[in-house]
């Protein structure tokens, strides 16, 4: 599967950021868009960035959130 990428060059002063819309996030996580909406409503998802009326997510925030969802192995 090819990961969705949307590269935005922010210049020399800022880092390069990949922003994903809700469809791209859902595709990356292989879940329905409704699951992303539900997790957001419950306050259990990575923080979104509001750009006008649209929501986007920094791919790094999605990766951090995903890692935090990893189950802990039983000892």
pLDDT band at residue 15 using 50, 70 and 90 as cut-offs: low
CATH of residue 12: 1.10.10
Considering the domain boundaries, does residue 65 fall inside one? no
Residue 10 has pLDDT above 60, yes or no: no
pLDDT band at residue 46 using 50, 70 and 90 as cut-offs: very high
Considering the domain boundaries, does residue 67 fall inside one? no
Considering the domain boundaries, does residue 69 fall inside one? no
Considering the domain boundaries, does residue 68 fall inside one? no
Residue 27 has pLDDT above 50, yes or no: yes
Which of 55 and 3 is assigned the larger pLDDT? 55
Q: Measure Cα distances from 60 to 71, 72, 73, 74 in Å.
A: 20, 22, 24, 28
Which of 10 and 48 is assigned the larger pLDDT? 48
Q: Based on the structure, what is the number of domains in the chain?
A: 1
Which of 72 and 60 is assigned the larger pLDDT? 60
Considering the domain boundaries, does residue 29 fall inside one? yes
Structural domain range at position 45: 7-59
């Amino acid at each position: 599967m090819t990961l969705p990428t949307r590269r935005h060059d922010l210049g020399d002063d800022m880092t390069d950021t990949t922003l994903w819309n809700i469809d791209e996030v859902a595709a990356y996580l292989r879940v329905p868009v409704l699951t992303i909406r539900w997790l957001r409503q419950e306050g259990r998802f990575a923080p979104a960035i509001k750009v006008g009326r649209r929501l986007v997510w920094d791919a790094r925030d999605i990766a951090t959130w995903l890692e935090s969802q990893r189950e802990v192995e039983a000892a």
